[in-house]
A and B are shown apart, each in its own frame.
Chain A
Amino acid sequence: MTPRPSLGLRARLLFAFALLCVVTAAAVSGGIYVQARNAILQRTQDGAVQAMKSRLEALYPLRSATPGPDELGDIAAAVPDQNNVEFAVASYGEIHSPVAPPGHLRLGGKVLALELGVISPKLRLVVAGGQIAWQRVVLQGTPWLIIGAPLLIAEPDRTARVSGIEVYAARSLLAEQRSIDDLAARAWLTGGAALAFAVVLALLATRGVLRPVRELGRAARLLGEGELRTRIEVRGSDELADVARTFNNTAAELERYVKQLREMEADARRFVADVSHELRTPLAALTAVADVLDEEAARLPEPAGRAAKLVSQETLNLTGLVNDLIEISRFDSGVAALTLNEVDVAELVRATLRVRGWSELVQTELPPAVTARLDPRRVDVILANLVGNALRHGEPPVSVRLSADPHWIALEVRDHGQGLDEAVLPHVFDRFYKANAARARSEGSGLGLAIAQENARLHQGGLTVTNAPDGGAMFTLRLPRRAPDPDGGPE
């Protein structure tokens, strides 16, 4: 199974959509949030400062340029109002109006003491310079706006002089903080909703794109597996539909070509089979009288005698060739079948050698009690071919060696000649392949090894050839000890 090709593409598309959405949402929400926050704070500050200024203006004219604590208390008490300032403190030099004891700021209540310690020196410096200034501080988790204002004294020459009296007012920003938090929450919520929406959209989009892609992948895989009739449904008229249409056309062409090739191959094979079968009847008649000719040849005058010998000999060769052709065409058409029998392999090998009078010519190494379920006649055909070749073309000693494991038997047939040319090795099982064109005749039909290999394959085994390291060709026949039985066998 190949890895699913859509996974990476889908993830990438989803990621891109989500990223785009997050960036957009963050930019829009963040921008709005910052602006809204600044606007809220600005308005609050302006309001508070304005209110404080107008309250302070109402204090004039001042009763004393050097006020005592009581006067400062009065000033401080005049500043707070219901809406803007909750608490104020006035100071003059080291003297100031009463403040709450340190660490006793009561939050959320109407009575709130402003501790001078929370006012930063920087703010005090600016106020001491005669300007109204403000600062936001966070006291015990609550945001506050602290406004500082100097009281000025108008000189007769119309210039203003710093009186030294400073008023500091505190205003809670809790409500504003809540508004801003609310705003942020809503921004998050909107962003989240947009993200979810984007993911859903991305999923839909990827499905729409990836389904045809996946179908295309599946179809291509089927086509590769030889399912040449695979086609894709063409939907719409986009680029993917174009791809699908191209795929279908290619598949149709491929199918047509393969069909054509198969037909040609089948025709060629059928022709060989037909020719072989047609040759059989005249050959049967020829074969029947070949013996007669052969036996009478000695009594015939020359050159009729030699002619008779030749006809009889070539009739036998021709019969062998036609039989081999018929045999190979049976493999090609798939009608060759195994007749399986439980046999002692060593006994089988000995019988093959004995029947052909080779027992004395071949060294054997045949462990006893190796049994296998085989078609003995077909194994005999393979062995006879291998040993026959070794005796004809190789150098003695020719040997047959049997080995076995629980599932396979292996028969090695080797000679001790020069072995086969490396260029020849891959072709020895080809039909009518002749290693040496000069000695093309009198070595059998040229189909012997091809038939041997087909017989091995029919057993679901294999036949291979190598050159032995110490010289000589070595054929190895491997057969399963339990060849697959097509019809349950005779037992």
Chain B
Amino acid sequence: MVGRQWTELTGGRVTERAVKLGGVSRVLLIEDDPAVREGLELALTRHGYRVRAVESGEQGLDWLRTDLPDVVVLDLMLPGMDGFEVCRRIRSAWEVPIIMLTARGDDMDVVAGLEAGADDYVVKPAQPRVLEARMRAVLRRTGREQAELERHGDLTIDRAGLVVANRGVPVSLAPTELRLLLELSGTPGRVHSRQQLLESVWEHGYFGDSRLVDACVQRLRAKIEDDSAAPVYVQTVRGFGYRFGPV
């Protein structure tokens, strides 16, 4: 294995981007094909990320334990432990955002990956600028201007500290789940269409994959609702989208 060092690239352009992001973001890339791995590493490094590239899920989990990155880019087709299992294990221990790389045309993979806890996905062969845009979106933090604690029934949301608690017990939310909850709870009672949520939470365009929203809502409900089948906080408005409350 190559030494456990974050690949760093110095240069004017890179520094500019890194400053824009508010510090250099560290990416853990788990991809078994050496050419793809090297290509993505090259491209992301040029875009100002510090990339740690590994070839298997086991190695990736090792690295996560050693040094938690800001974002994980995970290929679903891996030898040994498959991408879904890696995704589940990461999600069970950490809240780091996960972007999966899926093969075009494998719709079931997308659904299964989202259910395993991935925040977003990119179809291979992917242009690095598309992957980079997705990463920027999951890395962006929501505004922290509101300092006070919000209460919605048994749920408390601390927008400054980004802490969500149900009946006083902190709930561990993945970044996208948290952003979705903050977006919805910011305007209780208002209906958000899937397209709106894709634009505001995932920063996808109008034609993003609405399954991202549906899968994330399912995961969020599993964590904050007493009964996922009869949700109180995140409610479905048939034919339109989702609404927070009324509690």
Report which A residues bind B (CB closer than 8 A): 277, 280-292, 295, 316, 319, 322-323, 326-327, 329-330, 335, 337, 339, 341-343, 347-348, 351-352, 354-355, 376-377, 380, 490-491
List the A residue with the shortest CB-CB distance to B217: A490
Task: Tell me whether A292 and B42 are in contact (CB under 8 A).
Answer: yes
Report how far A326 CA is from B103 CA in the complex, Å. 10
- B35 proximity list for chain A (CB < 8 A): 281-282, 284-285
Report how far A491 CA is from B104 CA in the complex, Å. 25
Known A281-B35, A284-B125: A339·B209 in contact at CB below 8 Å: yes
- B209 proximity list for chain A (CB < 8 A): 339, 377
Task: Tell me whether A323 and B104 are in contact (CB under 8 A).
Answer: yes
Q: Which of B144-152, B169-177, B225-233, B235-243 contacts A (4 or more CB under 8 A)?
A: B235-243
Besides the known contacts A284-B126, A292-B128, 13 further A-B residue pairs in the complex with CB atoms under 8 A apart: A277-B103, A280-B125, A286-B39, A288-B43, A291-B46, A319-B125, A319-B127, A326-B105, A339-B211, A342-B240, A355-B206, A490-B214, A491-B236
Task: Tell me whether B39 and A284 are in contact (CB under 8 A).
Answer: yes
Report how far A343 CA is from B240 CA in the complex, Å. 8
Task: Give the residue of A281, A291, A355 whose beta carbon is less than 8 angstroms from that of B33.
Answer: A281
Q: Is B65 an interface residue (CB 8 A)?
A: no
Question: Can you list 9 A-B contacts (CB < 8 A)?
Answer: A280-B124, A284-B126, A287-B125, A288-B43, A322-B125, A352-B206, A376-B195, A380-B207, A491-B239
B41 to chain A, nearest CB (A): 8
Interface 1/0s, chain B 95-131, versus A by CB < 8 A? 0000000011101000000000000000011111100
- B206 proximity list for chain A (CB < 8 A): 347-348, 351-352, 354-355, 376, 380
A379 to chain B, nearest CB (A): 9
Closest A-B pairs by Cβ, 8 of them: A288-B39, A285-B35, A351-B206, A284-B125, A287-B125, A285-B39, A283-B125, A342-B239
B61 to chain A, nearest CB (A): 23
- B124 proximity list for chain A (CB < 8 A): 280-281, 284
Task: Tell me whether B33 and A284 are in contact (CB under 8 A).
Answer: yes
Task: Tell me whether B42 and A341 are in contact (CB under 8 A).
Answer: no
Q: Is B59 an interface residue (CB 8 A)?
A: no
Q: Is B38 an interface residue (CB 8 A)?
A: yes
Task: Tell me whether A287 and B33 are in contact (CB under 8 A).
Answer: no
Task: Tell me whether A377 and B239 are in contact (CB under 8 A).
Answer: no
Task: Tell me whether B125 and A292 are in contact (CB under 8 A).
Answer: no
The size of the chain B interface, using a CB distance under 8 A, is 32
List the A residue with the shortest CB-CB distance to B38: A285
Q: Is B184 an interface residue (CB 8 A)?
A: no
Report how far A293 CA is from B154 CA in the complex, Å. 54
Q: Is B210 an interface residue (CB 8 A)?
A: yes
Report how far A471 CA is from B214 CA in the complex, Å. 45
Task: Tell me whether A287 and B127 are in contact (CB under 8 A).
Answer: yes
Task: Tell me whether A490 and B107 are in contact (CB under 8 A).
Answer: no
B32 to chain A, nearest CB (A): 10
Task: Tell me whether B211 and A490 are in contact (CB under 8 A).
Answer: yes
- A288 proximity list for chain B (CB < 8 A): 36, 39-40, 42-43, 125-126, 128
Interface 1/0s, chain B 32-59, versus A by CB < 8 A? 0101101110110010000000000000
Task: Tell me whether B207 and A377 are in contact (CB under 8 A).
Answer: yes
Report how far A277 CA is from B194 CA in the complex, Å. 31
Report how far A491 CA is from B33 CA in the complex, Å. 38
List the A residue with the shortest CB-CB distance to B40: A288
Q: Is the interface of A mostly helix, strand, loop or mixed?
A: helix
Task: Tell me whether B46 and A327 are in contact (CB under 8 A).
Answer: no
A404 to chain B, nearest CB (A): 17
Task: Give the residue of B36, B194, B214 whose beta carbon is less than 8 angstroms from that of A284.
Answer: B36
List the B residue with the shortest CB-CB distance to A337: B107
A491 to chain B, nearest CB (A): 5
Report how far A210 CA is from B195 CA in the complex, Å. 65
- A339 proximity list for chain B (CB < 8 A): 209-211
Task: Tell me whether B39 and A335 are in contact (CB under 8 A).
Answer: no
- B236 proximity list for chain A (CB < 8 A): 491
Report how far A130 CA is from B223 CA in the complex, Å. 139
Task: Tell me whether A287 and B126 are in contact (CB under 8 A).
Answer: yes
List the B residue with the shortest CB-CB distance to A285: B35
Report how far A20 CA is from B170 CA in the complex, Å. 101
Task: Tell me whether A292 and B43 are in contact (CB under 8 A).
Answer: yes
Q: Is B246 an interface residue (CB 8 A)?
A: no
A413 to chain B, nearest CB (A): 18
- A290 proximity list for chain B (CB < 8 A): 127
A433 to chain B, nearest CB (A): 23
Task: Give the residue of A322, A341, A351, A490 whose beta carbon is less than 8 angstroms from that of B205.
Answer: A351
Report how far A351 CA is from B43 CA in the complex, Å. 30
B residues 174-220 with Cβ under 8 Å of A? 194-195, 205-207, 209-211, 214
- B239 proximity list for chain A (CB < 8 A): 342, 491
Report how far A423 CA is from B40 CA in the complex, Å. 47
A299 to chain B, nearest CB (A): 12
Task: Tell me whether B125 and A351 are in contact (CB under 8 A).
Answer: no
A354 to chain B, nearest CB (A): 8
Known A283-B125, A285-B33, A286-B125: A327·B105 in contact at CB below 8 Å: yes
B46 to chain A, nearest CB (A): 6
- A280 proximity list for chain B (CB < 8 A): 103-104, 124-125
A283 to chain B, nearest CB (A): 4
Task: Tell me whether B207 and A341 are in contact (CB under 8 A).
Answer: no
Task: Tell me whether B207 and A291 are in contact (CB under 8 A).
Answer: no
- B42 proximity list for chain A (CB < 8 A): 288-289, 292
Task: Give the residue of A289, A330, A341, A380 whose beta carbon is less than 8 angstroms from that of B194.
Answer: A341
- B40 proximity list for chain A (CB < 8 A): 288
List the B residue with the shortest CB-CB distance to A491: B238
A428 to chain B, nearest CB (A): 25
Task: Tell me whether A291 and B105 are in contact (CB under 8 A).
Answer: no
- A351 proximity list for chain B (CB < 8 A): 205-207
- B43 proximity list for chain A (CB < 8 A): 288-289, 291-292
B145 to chain A, nearest CB (A): 30
Task: Tell me whether A341 and B210 are in contact (CB under 8 A).
Answer: yes
List the B residue with the shortest CB-CB distance to A378: B207
Task: Give the residue of B125, B127, B195 whose beta carbon is less than 8 angstroms from that of A343.
Answer: B195
B208 to chain A, nearest CB (A): 8
- A283 proximity list for chain B (CB < 8 A): 125
B134 to chain A, nearest CB (A): 14
- B240 proximity list for chain A (CB < 8 A): 342
B residues 11-36 with Cβ under 8 Å of A? 33, 35-36
B38 to chain A, nearest CB (A): 7
- A281 proximity list for chain B (CB < 8 A): 33, 35-36, 124
Report how far A339 CA is from B104 CA in the complex, Å. 16
Task: Give the residue of B128, B129, B207, B238 whose beta carbon is less than 8 angstroms from that of A355.
Answer: B207
